[in-house]
Amino acid sequence: MANIHPHQIVKGKYGSKENLVDQLTGKLERIQDETDEAFKARLLTVSNKKLLRLTTAADRVAGDFGTKDNLLDAIVGFKFSKPNADYRAKLAGYRITRLLDLHDSFKKRSK
């Protein structure tokens, strides 16, 4: 059985890369003062594989945690027994994919 190429997945699920980018623009954080048009143009240059990974990560954050703040609280809870504002502020600058990887690694260690 042949592997399905990311381009085929994007075409099958979303119809086109533009449709996928349109869905992602509301879910992802952008650079401060970046317009919607500039953000979409930047996302259109990203590979299909990375767009699919970003979609999965954004959906997981929304489904499992609700918001990025809840994800940050979960990570800080794994690391410390009580809230740590400095560590949380440091993590707030991270992207959701990195935060999810960090959460998963802390969750594995706690088992």
Cβ–Cβ under 8 Å, residues 55 and 24: yes
Q: What is the C-alpha separation between 107 and 111, in angstroms, rounded?
A: 7
For 4, the enclosing helix (H) or strand (E) is none
| Residue of 97, 96, 101, 79 whose CA lies nearest to 88 | 79
Q: Are residues 56 and 72 in the same domain?
A: no
Amino acid 1: pLDDT: 55
Residue numbers of the chain with a pLDDT score lower than 50 = none
Amino acid 21: pLDDT: 95
Cβ–Cβ under 8 Å, residues 105 and 75: no
Q: Are residues 37 and 82 in the same domain?
A: no
Q: Are residues 61 and 33 in the same domain?
A: yes
Amino acid 67: pLDDT: 93
Domain hosting 71: range is 67-111
